[in-house]
Amino acid sequence: MLGRKALVFCSVVFALLSLGLYFAIAQFFLPYIDKPSLLLMSLVLGGSVSAALYLFIHKTFLEPYKQFKSQFDALAQTGTVSDRLTSSEVAGYSELEESINRLLEQVEQTQKDLQQSETRYAIAAAGTNDGLWDWDLKTDEVYYSARWKNILGLGNGVQATTPDTWLNRIHKDDQARVEENLKAHLAGRTDWFESEHRILHESGTYLWVLTRGVAIWQDQKAIRIAGSLTDMTKRGYFDPLTDLPNRNLLEDRLEHAFEKAKRDSQRKVALLFMDLNRFKIINDSLGHHIGDKLLQELAQRLSLCVRSGDTVARLGGDEFVILLENLESDAALMHIVDRIQRYICSDFKIEGHHIVNSSSLGIIPDIAGYPDTSEILRNADIAMYHAKNSKLSYAFFDPTMHKHVVAQQKLEIELRSALNKGELHLVYQPIVSLNEASVDSYEALLRWKHPVKGYILPSDFIPVAEETGLIVPLGEWILREACNELQKQQPNDITTVSVNLSGKQLAQPDLLERITIILQDSGLKANRLKLEITESSIIEDPERISVVLHQLKALGVQLCLDDFGTGYSSLSYLNKLPLDVLKIDRSFIQDMVSDKRSLALVRTITDMATELDMKVVPEGIESLEQVTLLQSLNCHYGQGFYFSRPVSFDEAKKLKQKPKGSTLTV
């Protein structure tokens, strides 16, 4: 409308100017033209000029203006620009038309890209099942998505537009840490904001959530921050017993720390792998209820040992992992390690029970340089087992440990195969009556002849069998083979055979039944079987082991305490346990000739065993001088290379058949 009025106004003005010019010129011709004719001619001329000018301006300016206005009105009303200007519609404006069309094409493409982006974002947001938030720091208004509200049980109808909706719901013990992390990011000190904390649900309970966000900057100042809220409780990131992060969350945090360490070589990150010593004994003796209480108390103590930004996680059972970030030095690491050792070794008082514990720690002092996080955890685990097997409180990982583990794993596989392929066999070492110089009994010992490597020392493969649990089927095979051999070779003799019984075998609930079946199958009388146990297997759980040994004694087998004097000796064991034989460790026998203290110990053990009506069998006898000295101490039996190395049963039987008093040395 405004364009049309302007056009009419311009036409009239132009016509008046033309008319004025006409009158000025007509003054020269006035004597020749009458006034009515002059007026008529002026009106015709002014109207013609006005009409021509109107048509020209309308076609040249007004129609293109209307076309442009129509297009931009459509853009304003619908947000779409699908039509284009053509030359027939806007004649004479081809260059302007092309420029506008290019602009419209760009706007339309931008709209399409924006719609696709919004669609992808909506699908991704729905797929992650996370709540979204967007905080305008200028207006202090926050947008919370429907999913964000749903996680907290608020419902879509709840009006929430302020930061307080989030911040006031954070658990009071977590608020300071969350605000500190948020301020650090908004100050530009961190690449992103991230915080795990508890937040109040509408039901009155607290949820564990992970809040992440990234700020938008303008003129070096944060003007906006947006991010997500993840319900970690439902995603299984926490251990239900201890409320500590579990393996899932640990791996997530370790991955983040690993990526940060790769970007910043100055960022020192360490990882500790911890395992409780003798936790199974506590569970078995005091019950799982007490064991769970111990783990809960342990979790609290470990949390006190670390800093606010560190992670203490429970992997399962009695295994814990501590992730230490931003360590300033090795001294800072050792300070935390020492504190953990002190806290763990302190007494635990649980429902009237005083529990003294210890732990084994495997340490990766710096995760930098590792190819991935799985190798970090694996090596920390290896170091922990090295510490445990070496009776150390902690051990730093060394590459040789991994090589050793690989070799052990290979040996385990070959040992399992050897058991099935008949590569194992028994040898027998005679136990001799010193006074009569005759064979009293045999000890069955395991040997492994590898088809490629030849004989493998028991000291190399027995620890592998113990660690992997293979000692149980291996021990049962030895027991069955020894009973069968003795019954087959000497069915009517009174000679006995001694077989070592491992701690893991003693822990079998059906051990008594298994031994009974072996005796029945072989036909060997129970009193011809001696079972040798070590002091270390008793200390694991004295009360339970005592029950098992009394059951075996009732079955009729004889019981021997092996390597006496080298373990956790306690005279109460000798009084309470139904033992028949004490075997004195070879270390005392080797030194007794030259060391008065060793001689005194052997004399004391011999006298004590005699008073308790037990036989004494010194091990490792290698000289006549040792034999003579033992006889002077009223020790009646002995075993060692002086009499015979371990040999096949046929050779051992030949020694048995020698006349009493003859030389037994093989």
Quick: pLDDT tens for 273-301. 999 988 887 887 788 899 999 999 999 99
The Cα 153–Cα 156 span in angstroms is 9
Report the chain's mean pLDDT, rounded to a whole number: 84
Q: Which DSSP string do the residues of 362-424 spell out, in sequence order?
A: EEES--TT-S-HHHHHHHHHHHHHHHHHTT-SEEE--HHHHHHHHHHHHHHHHHHHHHHHT-E
Task: Return all residues near 484 (Cβ < 8 A) that are at least 6 apart.
Answer: 521, 522, 524
- The CATH T-level fold of domain 415-656 is TIM Barrel (3.20.20)
How far is the CA of 658 from the CAs of 183, 623, 624, 666, in angstroms? 91, 20, 19, 12
Q: What is the pLDDT of residue 157?
A: 74
Question: Is pLDDT at 178 greater than 60 in this prediction?
Answer: yes
For residue 384, give the nearest of 251, 272, 299 by alpha carbon: 272
Q: How confident is the model at residue 362 (pLDDT cuts 50, 70, 90)?
A: very high
Q: What's the length of the chain?
A: 666
Calculate ∠ Cα 537-538-540, nearest 5°. 75
Question: Is pLDDT at 59 greater than 70 in this prediction?
Answer: no
> What ranges do the domains of the chain cover?
2-78, 130-235, 246-397, 415-656
Task: Return all residues near 192 (Cβ < 8 A) that are at least 6 apart.
Answer: 185, 212, 213, 214
Provide the CATH number for the domain formed by 130-235 in this structure.
3.30.450.20
| Amino acid at residue number 353 | H
The Cα 566–Cα 605 span in angstroms is 13
Q: How confident is the model at residue 11 (pLDDT cuts 50, 70, 90)?
A: low
Q: How confident is the model at residue 600 (pLDDT cuts 50, 70, 90)?
A: very high
The class level of CATH for 246-397 reads alpha beta
Dihedral sign, CA of 352, 359, 301, 314? negative
Question: Is pLDDT at 484 greater than 90 in this prediction?
Answer: yes
How far is the CA of 162 from the CAs of 139, 165, 279, 582, in angstroms? 10, 6, 50, 79
Other CB atoms within 10 A of residue 587 CB: 14
To 10 degrees, the CA torsion angle through 240, 243, 249, 250? Answer: -120
pLDDT in tens, 215-270: 999 998 999 999 999 888 766 788 889 989 999 899 989 998 998 888 877 779 99
Tell me the CA end-to-end span of the chain in Å, nearest whole number.
129
Average pLDDT over every residue of 358-383: 93
Q: What is the pLDDT of residue 377?
A: 96
Whether the CB-CB separation of 432 and 662 falls below 8 Å is answered with no
Q: What is the pLDDT of residue 659?
A: 55
Who has greater pLDDT, 488 or 574? 488
Q: Which spans in 238-363 are helix H?
A: 247-263, 279-286, 288-305, 330-345
Question: Is pLDDT at 2 greater than 50 in this prediction?
Answer: no
Beta-ladder partners of 207 = 199
Q: How confident is the model at residue 88 (pLDDT cuts 50, 70, 90)?
A: very low
Q: What is the pLDDT of residue 438?
A: 87
Choose the weakest-confidence range: 64-73, 370-379, 505-514, 633-642: 64-73
The Cα 501–Cα 561 span in angstroms is 10
pLDDT in tens, 413-449: 999 999 889 899 999 999 999 988 889 999 999 999 9
